[in-house]
Amino acid sequence: MTPSLSTSISGDMDRTKPVLELRGINKVFPGVKALTEVGLMLFPGEVHTLMGQNGAGKSTLIKILTGVYAPDSGRIILQGQSVQPRSTLDAQNLGISAVYQEVNLCLNLSVAENIFIGRYPMRYGRNGFIDWSTMERNAQKLLAELQVEIDVAVPLSRYSLAVQQMVAISRALSISAKVLILDEPTSSLDENEVQMLFTVLRRLRDQGMAILFVTHFLDQTFEISDRITVLRNGVLEGEYAVGALTRFDLVNKMVGVSAQEAQAASVAREENLQTLPTAEVTRSVAVEEDDPVFLTASKMGRKGALAPLDLTCRSGEVLGLCGLLGSGRTEAARLLFGADKADSGTIAVKGKIQKFNSPRDAIAAGIGFCSENRKEEGAILALSVRENIILALQARAGLMHVIGRRRQQEIANNYIQWLGIKTPSADTPISKLSGGNQQKALLARWLATDPEMLILDEPTRGVDVRAKQEIMDYVVSLCRKGMAILFISSEIDEVLRCSDRLVVLRDRKACGEYLRGELDDASVLQVIAGDAA
């Protein structure tokens, strides 16, 4: 029988009863309570969007639904029956299919092979031959129902990411069509590709499909959603009809700050600014009063990651980037550091156009970058504190100019002392240090290169209160000594406290630039929300 997306969705399904219900879901990892008594109801014929900041518990919840994790307690009820997926295959067999941000298909295989991988139609029974013509014909029909007309016999790699997403969706729906989970599917798509995806989702919704949509884009949330569930710090904040929330309400619920609390935080921040200590540093950057501009980015952008953006970073100034997860903060930082390549615009350092083909080019231009992903892109856990601190300096010097052990020890000890890194010795594995001390060691890594500009992406994430305060004080101190600093944080109070200028991003676009004092915590939320009406 030829598979069909439309016939796989039950036409007589009762849309007043949830097809999927979560009750009292709890999940604890060592040292982390990921989910606490979380519940959710997903009905046929709706797009239900799951929202929350980084660390809110969205990914954990999706992994429980798809059989990657088992909940510690709670129930999953699918069409009135309690179920517990034990693997992703088990979840698919139950009728729960997921499509992820990173398309987990085989680019070297044909479109048809990707749709039917593991389920190839066979001639002469299970031990016969793959029926290629039947497979390609069925694949063509499945995609046509999504209004995608492509050659299914060619490798998937020939098509755009948006088309690859459609192939992933058609595969998911051809396996089972009770629940479709889309986990950040639009993160790498441009506006036209997003609309192409939304057209398909609306059609599936109208046919009765239950869709759980996970995203961090506000505009997309209000465009496609019927209902919204908000998680915050692993706890269910609430479930709302899309018409019952303004953008401002949604941002407040995700961040967990009321307008009154935001105003109070603004007053406290101004009081704290008067008592910041100034640390002594081992270098001083001379600021040219005539032209303090260190770096200028003009119309810098990358398709599917960041709309063309203008930024000016001045010596002796902290430029803050503020916005929710997925707003484009990290994408901008990676483009400025050459970790990703921009496909539009220019970057100039001290008035001279630069082409950063790799981070090495940015380092040579006097730029350092502390990534938000400390575990995977920052600390090399198998190396010592000394080796981690010296890493960028050695990379800049090159393999032909090895920094001697004695000099390494001297540099590492200087920064351990100045930054107050708590470690038995410079040769202690960095994996033995607390998160805050690891972050200080990474800050030392870039300070050792004597940078003129430092990009700090979430430098205080995952560290304790005292270490957070110390790191923030170092940032202010470095700025006072003449360094240009690009400071990125999801904590509004934190970025307001230390920034001289602030650029607010929303949905991969800049939506305003402000001087110190022009915004407080509440008004930043208004700008992020875009439409507070």
CA 60 to chain centroid, in Å, comes to 15
Strand ranges in 188-305 using DSSP code E only, listed in sequence order: 210-214, 227-232, 235-241, 293-302
Amino acid 360: pLDDT: 87
Residue 523 makes CB contacts below 8 A (sequence gap 6+) with: none
In the chain, count of helices (H) and strands (E)?
18, 22
Instruction: Print pLDDT tens along the chain (533 aa).
Output: 455 555 445 445 566 789 999 999 999 987 678 899 999 999 999 999 999 877 788 888 999 999 999 999 999 999 999 999 999 889 988 989 888 766 678 888 999 998 888 788 888 766 778 888 888 998 988 888 777 888 999 999 888 777 888 888 888 877 766 899 998 888 767 777 788 889 888 988 998 899 999 988 888 899 999 999 999 889 999 999 998 988 888 888 888 755 445 445 444 434 433 433 333 333 333 334 445 899 999 999 998 788 999 999 999 999 999 888 778 888 999 999 999 999 999 999 999 999 999 888 998 899 988 887 766 677 888 899 999 999 888 887 777 788 889 999 999 998 888 888 888 889 998 888 877 788 888 888 888 888 899 998 888 776 656 666 777 787 888 888 889 999 998 778 788 888 899 999 988 889 888 888 888 878 888 888 875 43
| Element of type H or E holding 515 | strand 509-515
Instruction: Write down how long the chain is.
Output: 533
Pick the CATH number of 18-245 from 3.30.465.10, 3.40.50.300, 3.50.50.60, 1.20.1740.10: 3.40.50.300
Residue 124 makes CB contacts below 8 A (sequence gap 6+) with: none
Eight-state DSSP code of residue 375: I
Contact assessment for residue 230 and residue 51, using Cβ atoms and an 8 Å cutoff:
yes
Contact assessment for residue 384 and residue 430, using Cβ atoms and an 8 Å cutoff:
yes
Q: In angstroms, rounded to a whole number, what is the distance separating the alpha carbons of residues 256 and 241?
A: 19
Q: In angstroms, rounded to a whole number, what is the distance separating the alpha carbons of residues 21 and 69?
A: 17
Q: What is the DSSP string of 433-479?
A: S-HHHHHHHHHHHHHTT--SEEEEESTTTT--HHHHHHHHHHHHHHH
* Short-list 19, 79, 78, 71, CA closest to 44: 19
Amino acid 211: pLDDT: 94
The alpha helices in 320-384, defined as continuous H runs, are 329-336, 359-364
Q: In angstroms, rounded to a whole number, what is the distance separating the alpha carbons of residues 244 and 250?
A: 10
Q: Which two tokens stand for residue 247?
A: 């953008």
Residue 23 makes CB contacts below 8 A (sequence gap 6+) with: 39, 74, 75, 77
Amino acid 465: pLDDT: 60
Side-chain half-sphere exposure of 53, counting CA atoms within 13 A = 20
Please give the radius of gyration of the chain, using alpha carbons only, rounded to the nearest integer. 26
Q: Strand 501-506 relative to strand 318-322: parallel, antiparallel, unpaired? A: parallel
- Cross-strand bridge partners of residue 228: 49, 240
Contact assessment for residue 306 and residue 345, using Cβ atoms and an 8 Å cutoff:
no
Burial of residue 283 (CB within 10 Å: 0-12, 13-18, 19+) is exposed
Give the C-alpha distances (Å, rounded to integers) separating 516 from 68, 201, 495: 45, 42, 11
Contact assessment for residue 170 and residue 5, using Cβ atoms and an 8 Å cutoff:
yes
Q: Which two tokens stand for residue 124?
A: 């002469």
Amino acid 436: pLDDT: 73
* Short-list 420, 442, 424, 444, CA closest to 432: 424
Q: In angstroms, rounded to a whole number, what is the distance separating the alpha carbons of residues 514 and 319?
A: 10
Amino acid 36: pLDDT: 94
Residue 331 makes CB contacts below 8 A (sequence gap 6+) with: 302, 305, 306, 340, 508
Amino acid 271: pLDDT: 43
Q: In angstroms, rounded to a whole number, what is the distance separating the alpha carbons of residues 171 and 138?
A: 11
Contact assessment for residue 480 and residue 512, using Cβ atoms and an 8 Å cutoff:
no
* Short-list 229, 176, 175, 169, CA closest to 196: 169
Contact assessment for residue 47 and residue 210, using Cβ atoms and an 8 Å cutoff:
no
Amino acid 462: pLDDT: 61
Backbone angles phi, psi at 410, to 5 degrees: -65, -45
In the chain, the amino acid numbered 370 is: C
Q: In angstroms, rounded to a whole number, what is the distance separating the alpha carbons of residues 113 and 335?
A: 35
